[in-house]
Structure 1
Amino acid sequence: MLNQLGAGIAITGSGSATPDVILDNPQLERMVETSDEWITSRTGIRERRLADDQIRLSAIAAQAAQNALTMAQIAATDLDLIILATSTPDDLFGTACQIQSLLGASKAVAFDMTAACSGFVFGMVTAAQFIRTGVYKNVLLIGADILSRWVNWSDRGTCILFGDGAGAVVMQANESDRFLGFEIRSDGTQNHSLQLTYNAQPKEIVKDIAVAQGNFGPITMNGKEVYRFAVQKVPEVIEKALFRANLSAEQIDWLLLHQANQRILDAVAQRLKIPTQKVLSNLARYGNTSAASIPLALDEAVRQGKIQSGDLIATAGFGAGLTWGSAIFLWGK
């Protein structure tokens, strides 16, 4: 049955890619004053993947994208649109077009969007609107970040959290509608809680005319405030998305949250009364990969056979902005 708003939508393929370099907690113990036990008990993270100075975001994003295209059994030349959700592009003017070139997706328009750790969910909602209106039929959505570029490796409050990676899904027009509901939100008054800001220095270019020049970073975060925000807002936004889909939390097969902190995952599941066995988590191996975390965990669960066609998935992202959002969908055609 088609959704009354327009064309139905199906999520037909997933893919992921991560760098080979692994930084584990014992190695971090030699860098900053921390311990494996402290990191694991407070975050659930045991190791994370890091991109070396030769790896470009476009390369791992294209690898994840190609894996998703292969699963969906669609050629890159059939794509109408590529959306890259990222906060760490190779080029500040945008990296999606580089990925389009690497894939050979000659017919696809491509653009970047930034909503930090909420980026993938915001990207799903954005892609859905293009399909709903009938403008595009085949959309590739990529979530990818190389946060190690912007981490202060002497700050034990943030350097233990972040890793690098990419994940992707193919979203297609479909006879039956599998994208069932969403809710996305923003609150700029809390922007200071999690930032990667531009640091400007004045430079006089001619007499009495000065411009700002500088660079970005590193990441700064008020961990307690972000934790409090996530535990309060994420269950609410999932409930709103479920309401829009005319569904209840009891009907969820899998809860797929942004992989930020295991305590947040546990607290959200507890508030929604979702049993632990329905909560997807690969946080221990990858850490917080920002916009990549949801598609990374999704692809892993699909390829492990956990997620089956027709399974009901409630996903939610939350992070800098502050931004947060949820999408409810059935996996597969």
Structure 2
Amino acid sequence: MYRSQISGLGKYVPENVVTNDDLAQIMETSDEWIQERTGIKERRHIKKGSEDTTAVMGFKAAQVALERANIDKNDIDLIVFATLSPDYYFPGCGVQIQDMLNISTCPALDVRNQCSGFVYALSVADQYIKTGMYENILVIGSENHSGGLDMTTRGRNVSVLFGDGAGAAVLSRSKDKHTGILSTHLHSEGKFAEELSLIGPSTKYWVPEIIKDNPQDNIPYYPYMNGQLVFKNAVVRFSEVIHEGLAHNDLSLEDIDMFIPHQANLRIAQFIQKKFKLSNDQVHNNIQKYGNTTAASIPIALTEAWENNKVQKNDTVVLAAFGSGFTWASAIIKW
């Protein structure tokens, strides 16, 4: 059986920085209030008139990853694109990336697992490589949140959290059994689906019904989050799925060299760090400057950690995510 190795990483975030003080100008909030609850100081938002979209940002991150992998675009056998904010209701962003890269033809697959999307996408790509079906797979996580947030006091509990950006990884086939993706672990619990959700527009609840049935103080086309329930479940599921991955590979907490959590809330990451007794050097967080970029958060953070030489050869790297669905996932990687 082959192994999947990450041969290239890339990230892209818009230039437009939105600070907590900027948000305080348009809603009832403050830098102190946001930092205390989330750890976020600023985030990136696509500026009005910019060329950036979910697909365009994914393309820009992919270009960097391909260059670093030293792989020609025509050597990509499959594109797996994770997002909750595609450019179109359909088709998905995967085919847009294929077109932007000017690849004559290749399969493109879209993954809709929100905050867990990149780890789910990584798992899908890993299986294709392990079976020998494909040799090089481009995996992208990208989000344009700012275009769909309620930027008023009414929506502040959600809107202060999210930012825009993209990250990408090239997975390549390797015969080295001692390095690469060792395992991935995926879970869901759909009874909590509406506790972190965007209900409409959808085929169940289309635009005319939304306009007709809802007063302006109850608009279902903005995200909803039961923050306390999400936090409570996240700290439990993060811990479980990390332990599951380590046990599967006969590893312990002491074997973790780098832990990169989904950047949902700095308080969640700090809770897990303290519980696992990990040092600051063993955890990479960047939510302070990018906010929660959902499917893009792990590839952006992983790329940044690698760029800063925080990930070295033979390191044991743990990725873990929890979010809407509820879904949660982990990946154990020997670098």
TM-score calculated relative to the size of structure 2? 0.91
Does structure 1 residue 313 correspond to structure 2 residue 311? no
1:291-325, CA deviations, whole angstroms, 9 ceiling, x for partnerless residues?
A: 00000011111112221222211001111011000
Match of 1:24 in 2: 19
CA distance in 1, matches of 2:197, 2:142: 18
Does structure 1 residue 50 correspond to structure 2 residue 54? no
Q: Give the CA deviation at 1:272.
A: 2.1
**Aligned in 2, Cα 1:184/1:64: closer, same or farther, shift over 3 Å?**
same
Q: Give the CA deviation at 1:225.
A: 0.7
8 Å Cα contact 1:181/1:242 also seen in 2 = no
CA distance in 2, matches of 1:235, 1:304: 26
Does structure 1 residue 228 correspond to structure 2 residue 232? yes
Does structure 1 residue 108 correspond to structure 2 residue 106? yes
Equivalent residue runs for 1:33-182 within 5 Å: 33-53=28-48, 54=50, 55-93=52-90, 94-154=92-152, 155-177=155-177, 178-182=180-184
Amino acid at match of 2:166: A
Larger proportion of strand:
1
Does structure 1 residue 193 correspond to structure 2 residue 202? no
1:178-197, CA deviations, whole angstroms, 9 ceiling, x for partnerless residues?
A: 11122110000011210011
Give SS of 1:179's match: strand
Q: Give the CA deviation at 1:285.
A: 0.6
Q: Give the CA deviation at 1:12.
A: 1.1
8 Å Cα contact 2:245/2:331 also seen in 1 = yes
Give SS of 1:317's match: strand
Q: Give the CA deviation at 1:80.
A: 0.1
CA distance in 2, matches of 1:303, 1:269: 22
Amino acid at match of 1:90: D
CA distance in 2, matches of 1:42, 1:203: 36
Q: Give the CA deviation at 1:216.
A: 6.9
1:212-244, CA deviations, whole angstroms, 9 ceiling, x for partnerless residues?
A: xxx972111011111111111111111001111
CA distance in 1, matches of 2:84, 2:331: 20
TM-score calculated relative to the size of structure 1? 0.92
Match of 1:212 in 2: none
Match of 1:3 in 2: none
1:104-152, CA deviations, whole angstroms, 9 ceiling, x for partnerless residues?
A: 2334211211000000000111101100111101000000011112211
Q: Give the CA deviation at 1:52.
A: 2.7
Amino acid at match of 2:42: E
CA distance in 1, matches of 2:100, 2:150: 31
79-88 or 194-203, which moves further after superposition? 194-203
Match of 1:183 in 2: 185
Q: Give the CA deviation at 1:275.
A: 2.0
Amino acid at match of 1:46: K
CA distance in 1, matches of 2:63, 2:284: 23
8 Å Cα contact 2:149/2:159 also seen in 1 = yes
Does structure 1 residue 322 correspond to structure 2 residue 323? no
RMSD over equivalenced CA pairs, Å: 1.6
Amino acid at match of 2:161: L
Q: Which stretches in structure 1 are left out of the alignment for 5+ residues?
A: 1-5, 205-214
Q: Which stretches in structure 2 are left out of the alignment for 5+ residues?
A: 210-218
